[in-house]
Amino acid sequence: MDKQALTDWATANGWQILAGMPVLTKPSAPKEAIVRLALKATVASVEIKKPAGKWEKFSSAAYAKIQPDPETGFPMGLGLDTMPGFTMLMRDNKDRMTFARMGGKG
C-alpha cells in the first residue's frame, strides 16, 4: 500500500483528516485526535496521543511492507490489528460519521 491507498482506506473506514493526517478521535470529544497515521515519504507510522498530550509512536513500517488483507482490505503490517480497542474505536468513529451524514441539514 502507498500513502494514497492508506489515506483512501482510512477515510472509508471512519478516519477523518485533521491537520493533514488521517486520525481517529475520542468518542466523547470528536474534535480531539487520539490516534493518527503519520504518512511520510517512505514510511507510515501509527501514533497514539498520551494523556499528557504528547504523541508516541506505536508502530511504523515501510509502505512496501504494508499489504491489504485480501478479504477486508485492512492494512496488515502496521500493527493496527494488535492495538487493544482499535477496532471498537474505528467503528465508533465510522458510526459517528455515518449518523452525522444521515442527520443532514434540517
Q: How far is CA 61 from CA 31, 66, 67, 90, in A?
A: 27, 7, 11, 20
Q: How far is CA 15 from CA 31, 52, 93, 106, in A?
A: 12, 23, 7, 25
Q: Would you give per-residue pLDDT tens digits along the chain (106 residues)?
A: 999 999 999 999 989 999 999 999 988 888 899 999 999 999 999 999 999 999 999 999 999 999 999 998 999 999 988 888 888 999 999 988 887 777 655 4
Domain boundaries, the chain: 3-103
pTM of the model: 0.84
